[in-house]
Structure 1
Amino acid sequence: MYIPTAFRVNDQSRLVDFIKGNSFGILFSQEESEPSATHLPFFLDEKTGDNGVLISHMAKQNPHWKKLNGKEVLVVFQGPHAYISASWYKDPNTVPTWNYVAVHVYGTVQIIEKKEEMVERMEKTVHFYESSMPDPWDTPFDDEFIDGLLNGIVVFEILINKMEGNGN
């Protein structure tokens, strides 16, 4: 992403906070014939690995996951954005622009195949999203119904190599 110097966010804690507050991202990868993108919820575990990991899952019926293991990917987290009219400036030598806030995360995908590791990642994710609820749902991963649902998803994590943010 092109980021003008004045808008570049270098503060890692600001990037982490932004992702946590805007955690529904778009996972992009490049296949042989075309790019792929999937909209997904992510949980950022900043305590795992050198730069943290993003944890997510998708339906096994989604073909996007089939060639992701070990692949470099991009996840885009988008925040507020707005059109800026040239008429708002006193200087006549200006043009319209667009202000926006976004974080791009680059990393390598690792598919989680062991059931106990899948459950651990899903528990972290559910606890993150349920934490703001007045009566948080307690994840019954030992339940037969939930166990069956786990068979229909692919859990993965993305080892973060680089994060960059635009705080325009």
Structure 2
Amino acid sequence: MRQNPSFAMTDVGELRRLIARNPWATLVSAAPDGLVASHYAVLLDDGRDDLTIVGHVGRPDDLLHGLGERELMVIFQGPHGYVSPGWYGDAAGVPTWNFASVHLSGVPELLTTEENLQVLDRLVAHFESPRDDPRLLWERPNDAAYVERLEKGTIGFRLTPTKVVAKRKLSQNKTPEVVESVILELEGTGPYSNPALAAEMRRAHDAMAAARNS
């Protein structure tokens, strides 16, 4: 991902927030026969306060990626959407796409069976906990034999990135008046309504304004 200073994301807290809110990740590696991409839910390692992540792949994706042997890039895509030049007022402009994205790269560590079971348990709990009647990994009708068979079909990993590229392109090159116009359009009911992107823009621009005034 091409980087430019005005759009760079460097605050670890903001990167963790983006990853936590967008756990469906794309895993990319360079295999002998070409690029390989897979898609899995990935979580921040709850024992760390950095950008270390944990997850799993189903067999044989571990072999396709050379998991534990080759560099792996994990891509998290935050809110994104179309921005019309008609939202800029009576000024020259072209369409663009606003987005926030994080790329983490490194050689992952393979987890033991026990560690993988803990990650699988946490993944299920993470996504089931908002439900009124959550179905957790070890609860009936699942039994231990079923869970253990499930685990054998997966390979868990932990990735502490050695390279981080994160970008938040949210109209930072526009005037405050244009930014507010774009946010209001995204908050509206038009064909490109996108409240999540509007909220991300407002958060970023409020932080920029606070930094300028501090």
TM range (shorter): 0.7 to 0.9
Secondary structure at 1:35 match in 2: strand
Q: Specify the alignment match of 2:119 in structure 1.
A: 121
SS in structure 2 at match of 1:3:
coil
Residue ranges of structure 1 left out of the alignment (5+ in a row) = none
Instruction: Indicate the residue corresponding to 2:152 in structure 1.
Output: 151
- Stretches of structure 2 that go unaligned for 5 or more consecutive residues are 170-214
Q: What is the CA RMSD across the aligned residues, in angstroms? A: 2.3
Higher-RCO chain (CA-CA 8 Å, sequence separation at least 6): 1
Compare the two structures and name the one with the higher strand fraction. 1
SS in 2 for 1:145: helix
Pairwise CA distance, 1:66: 5.6
Alignment deviations for residues 92-144 of structure 1 (CA, whole Å, 9 cap, x no partner):
2x3322111111112221222x3222222222322322332323333318611
Is the CA contact 2:30–2:36 (under 8 Å) kept in the aligned structure 1? yes
How far apart, in 2, do the equivalents of 1:106 and 1:66 lie?
13
Letter in 2 for 1:36: V
CA distance 1:148–1:46, change in 2 (3 Å): closer
> Sequence identity of aligned pairs in percent?
28
SS in 1 for 2:124: helix
2:18 and 2:7 map into 1 onto residues whose CA distance is 15
**Structure 1 residues 163 and 154: CA distance shift in structure 2, 3 A:** same
- 1:21-32 matches, cutoff 5 A: 21-32=21-32
For residues 100 and 111 of structure 1, what CA distance do their matches in structure 2 show?
Answer: 31
2:7 corresponds in structure 1 to 7
Show the 5 A alignment for 1:123-138.
123-138=121-136
Q: Whose Rg is larger? A: 2
Counterpart of 2:166 in structure 1 is 165
Q: TM-score, with normalisation over the residues of structure 1?
A: 0.84
Question: Which has more helix, going by share of residues?
Answer: 2
- State the match for 2:137 in structure 1: 139
AA partner of residue 164 (structure 2): M
Of stretches 99-108 and 121-130 in structure 1, the one that deviates more from structure 2 is 121-130
1:67 has 2:66 as partner: yes
